[in-house]
Structure 1
Amino acid sequence: MSEKGRPFLTLEHITVRYLDKTLFTHLDWELLEGQQWAITGNSGSGKTALLNTIAGRFNVINGGIHYHFYEQYRRQHTITDPYFTYRNLLAQVAHHHNFRNRSNTTDFYYQQRFNSMDAGDAPTVRQYLYGEDAANMPEDTLLAPLRINALLDKELIKLSNGETRRVMIAKGLLQKPLLLMLDNPFTGLDVQTRRHFMEMVNQVIASGIHVLLVTSPTEIPDNITHVLTLDNGAITGRYTRQEFQRLPAAGAAPAAAGPVIDREKLQALVQPAPRAFNTIVHMENVHVQYGENVILDNINWTVKPNEKWALLGPNGAGKSTLLSLINADNPQAYANELYLFDRKRGSGESIWDIKRKIGFVSPELHQYFPARNSCLQVVCSGFFDIIGATRMPTPEQTAHAQGWMEILDIAQYSAQPFKQVPESIQRLALLARALVKDPPLLIFDEPCQGLDAQQKQHFKQVIDTLCAVMELTLIFVTHYQEEIPAAVTKVLRLEKGKAVPS
């Protein structure tokens, strides 16, 4: 066991740059042995950047980081590997996966998880964790709370949100780290899974591993001893757990009102083409199955024009698969009694005919855009229902896209690379991408992931204002009741692939 009170990690007057941006200036912070820290703050405050800095991913141009745990390890062990560094003793689990195909030459594409032949090119959990020669897997009691054994033969691309997070944490723990850094591990998980993950983090800490956790101020596991608060790249507070809990709203700053939406400007921007549909979505006994695994079991659902639905249910309930049928991403739509915009699937309409009528936002979507695309290019790609800036928008389309970015208060990010802006800005850019073509159906799959309290409030205000000034149909997915816009009046709840009473 480590001796409490000795320095474990020290950041001494560090100034950090990434690409052409200064992230931190003269930042000081020390983590002592036995301390377990949560890092919290508004979106874009520098939480993930701080983890990346400690992991050695960003340039420290002034000051220094002292990895005392690494120096202590070297004194206690004989190391023969000349390339052994502090990085061998820490594991960073990002909020988003970086899985690749088995060939390791091409990235996943968005629809791949729903295409059984292409999904076979994805490695299994067993291969990802233990390599191709996974016959002699080591017993590791630390992995027991993650319940990995049931997932070992499942392709990575077919994992649910919660399953993906469990596998990524298992990968980190298999490195036998002295420091485990977790970036928002609870986001996107249902209530029960969040509770399970909290207990899992507590068990990791109890095993002797130091944990550094980026999380919201309301989701801090019991074994976390200290809280660091950030704002705009600066430390605003260092607290013991007890001190932090005594702060107003658990340390969270009151959510500001956010930018006021100009309804006249919004109405001028919204110019939907005349259309008339009897039904937007109609499903009769929809059934989706992969091998022995039933994902959707006899779903009957009708969505009428201008209705606002919440699609709810725990992780793995079948929500993403249901949305993939509507959004023309899943080929099993052709084997089912499914009608979209009054037409039966497979009656001659193309995928693009369907996508043209749908604005879609999901938590995974931003991962699939090329790194070189600007935020404005990402927004403009919504005119063509493509991922990536492979088609040139007209001047009118560009102006329309910029108008939506102004409405969402992200116009200042237009020229910046999409992958380099805060995740909250990426979310809002994807919302603008969904709105630019004035679609009759909006599908929002956990659109508030990565947004802070003020941004969530602004997002809900935008959606409710949109619903007030234009005719649109909405399907909204979330695990947080407070994120559901006031305009939503209907609910479909799924559990284990079945529709259940709300």
Structure 2
Amino acid sequence: MQSPILSIEQLHFQLSNKSPLSIDELSLKQGESLLVLGDNASGKSVLAQILAGDITGYQGSVVLTGKFTTLSFELEAETLAQDRLNDRSDFMEEGVDNGRTALEIIIDDNAFLAEDLDEIIALLAIEKLLEKPFKILSTGETRKVLMARALMLKPQVMLLDEPYAGLDIGSQAHLSNVLNSLVARGISIILFDFYHQTLPSSIENLVYMKSGKIVLSGKRSEIIATEQWQQLNENHYSLPHHLPDCLQYDHLEKNTPLVAVNNVSVSFDQKPIFNAVNWQFEQGQHWRIIGPNGCGKSTLLAMISGDSPKAYGKDIHLFGVKRGSGESIWDIKRHYGLVSAQLHRDYRVSTTLIKVVLSGFYDSIGLYDNPSRQQVIIARQWLVLLGLEQHENTYFNQLSYGEQRLVLIARAVVKLPMILILDEPCQGLDNHNRDKVLALMDYIAENSKTQLLFVSHDIRDQLKCITHELEFVTEKSAGENPLGYTTKITKK
């Protein structure tokens, strides 16, 4: 009899103050694949880290046979941290160390055959990314590159923790096709995620986790037809009776745009990203910004929020003042609340959840000021609204990725800013929390003076408050290669 590729018996692991991970038995045959689904803090990612060998000290038996590779938020953070550690910008004439290219990340100093590399590049359609610095790639692009690196190691098993996060709609469908083809080749895929329609159809086995335990296990088609599955996936949330107090901002003349971008172009290493963008964000508007991975959405947002040096020398007006007219970064940031994948990666300070939320009042990573009593009251109100009050004194790095994202959303909205930048805010959130956050954003738009700039690739992420849409579209050149992207504006 062929031995199983995965065998778990009497697994028990206690993580901080959460429900323990406890699995009596779980096995997977050679060549089989598995979906491990569940909400935030259900134990999925802890199980993934145990299988990958990143968590030890558990009780019971865990055996994963065959060569395996991983893809996760943690791997992405570790890869970027390595480039930060080796950054030599201070010693370079240009003053910028771009770090490793995507190709160098994929190869990772391993021996390889050129034909294998070419096959994987073609399979994932990432040829245009190869020479780009890994650190400047969008979230979706980094996932593609790390997927390529995983495949270069010729695994028999792939542990994929939320591999669809940050991918544009076309890339999500493409990834499912890739995973279906890998399963057909006999590679076992163990995929940890929330349930959504994009999940690869060829993975027939499913387990559903809740509070550290497996509550449903079996064939996918049978499980999703059960009443218990329907009950587990019902969404319940409530909206506040009122919003916590809003900060007061300097008065703006009625007809002054919040943001004016005039004929702005951006390039990296002489390669155009977007060209001649003209955009006005007027008072009373809420915008959705869309476009494929790598088109420059996050770059544009970073330029107007004070987080990108690419804004220097450009014709950008913020709140009626031209960028670069003597205002400080903090003069700009005080008008914004922000949640993004980049902020999530950068928030590495060891501090408690309540202090992370309070840092939103000061636009800092970490809390270095003494908050007022009223600020603490407001921060706690937001924790209650997002169902996080029981974790107030838990350290940020002890939370699951999805719980961390909820905390960063609370940090972004705590001062009800003039402009709330939501760059893939629901990345890492389960379906329940996704619906709750989207409903809360609509509620904020309707019941406060805060205006929204919203970016999302996920078709589930719909906001009723959106009034306008800024779309990045490919700008064709006279030759074969595109010049970059330009934008078009739609009134909703």
Instruction: Encode CA deviations 1:442-472: one digit per residue, 9 max, x unaligned.
Output: 1111111112222122112222222222112
In structure 2, the CA distance between the partners of 1:250 and 1:335, relative to structure 1 (3 Å rule), is farther
1:270 corresponding residue in structure 2: 246
Verify the 8 A CA contact 2:246 2:417 in the aligned structure 1. Answer: no
Q: Which residue of 2 aligns with 1:425?
A: 403
Partner of 1:130: 107
- 1:184, CA displacement in angstroms? 0.8
Mapped pair 1:105 → 2:85: yes
Change in Cα spacing, 1:380 to 1:193, as seen in structure 2 (3 Å) is: same
C-alpha change, 1:142 and 1:129, in structure 2 (3 Å) is closer
Gaps in structure 1 of 5+ consecutive residues: 71-88, 110-115
Deviation at 1:406, TM superposition (A): 2.3
Does residue 356 in structure 1 map to residue 356 in structure 2? no
Deviations 1:116-157 (A, max 9, x none): 956534211232233469898573435541234443322111
Question: What do residues 364-412 of structure 1 show as CA deviations (whole Å, max 9, x unaligned)?
Answer: 3122123521111111111221112333433433333223222333222
Are 2:69 and 2:153, in contact at CA under 8 Å, matched by a contact in 1?
Answer: yes
* Aligned CA distance change for structure 1 residues 206 and 464 (closer, same or farther; 3 Å): same
AA in 2 matched with 1:200: V
CA distance in 2, matches of 1:176, 1:55: 16
The equivalent position to 1:223 in structure 2, one of 202, 205, 210, is: 202
Counterpart-to-counterpart distance in 2, 1:103 and 1:364:
15
Q: Is 1:478–2:466 an aligned residue pair?
A: no
Q: Which residue of 2 aligns with 1:74?
A: none
CA distance in 1, matches of 2:39, 2:229: 13
Quick one: distance in 1 between partners of 2:251 and 2:392? 31
- Give, as a single letter, the amino acid of the residue that structure 2 aligns with 1:376: I
Q: What residue is the counterpart of 1:235 in the other structure? A: 214
Deviation at 1:318, TM superposition (A): 1.6
Alpha-carbon offset, residue 181 of structure 1: 0.4
CA spacing shift, 1:11–1:346, aligned 2, 3 Å:
same
- Give SS of 2:100's match: coil
1:94 corresponds to 2:82? no
1:458 paired with 2:455, answer no
More displaced stretch, 484-493 vs 347-356: 484-493
- Tell me how large the CA RMSD over aligned residues is: 2.8
Q: Distance in 1 between matches of 2:165 and 2:340?
A: 13
CA distance in structure 2 between the aligned counterparts of 1:159 and 1:309, rounded to whole angstroms: 23
Inter-partner Cα distance in structure 2 for 1:105 and 1:63: 36
2:447 aligned with 1:469, yes or no?
Answer: yes
Question: Partner of 1:78 in structure 2?
Answer: none
Classify 1:133/1:6 alpha carbon distance in 2 versus 1 (closer, same or farther; 3 Å): closer
Is 2:261–2:317's contact at 8 Å kept on the other side of the alignment? yes
Q: Within 1, Cα distance between the matches of 2:386 and 2:63?
A: 41
Equivalents in 2 of 1:134, 1:211: separation in Å? 24
The Cα of 1:223 is off from its aligned counterpart by: 2.0
Of residues 238, 250, 253, the one that matches 2:232 is 253
Residue 187 of structure 2 is aligned to residue 214 of structure 1: no
Deviations 1:88-120 (A, max 9, x none): x221111351224666636899xxxxxx95653
Secondary structure at the residue paired with 1:396?
helix
Q: Secondary structure at the match of 1:18?
A: coil
Which among 19, 35, 40 is matched to residue 38 of structure 1? 35
User: % of aligned pairs identical?
Assistant: 30
Alignment correspondent of 1:500: 488
- Secondary structure of the residue aligned to 1:498 is strand
Aligned pair in 2 of structure 1 residues 245, 157: CA closer, same or farther (>3 Å)?
Answer: same
C-alpha contact 2:12 2:23 (8 A) present in aligned 1: yes
> Which residue, out of 150, 157, 171, partners 1:179?
157
CA contact 1:14–1:60 (8 Å) conserved in 2:
no
Q: Does the Cα contact within 8 Å between 1:366 and 1:430 map onto a contact in 2?
A: yes
Residue equivalent to 1:76: none
Partner amino acid for 2:252? A
Counterpart of 2:366 in structure 1: which amino acid?
A: G
Residue 365 (1) aligns with residue 343 (2): yes
**Alignment correspondent of 1:113:** none
Report matched runs for 1:192-341 at 5 Å: 192-218=170-196, 219-244=198-223, 246-247=225-226, 253-263=232-242, 266=243, 268-273=244-249, 275-277=251-253, 278-341=256-319
TM-superposed CA distance for 1:46, in Å, is 1.3
**1:411 partnered with 2:408:** no
Distance verdict in 2 for CA 1:221–1:118, change over 3 Å: farther
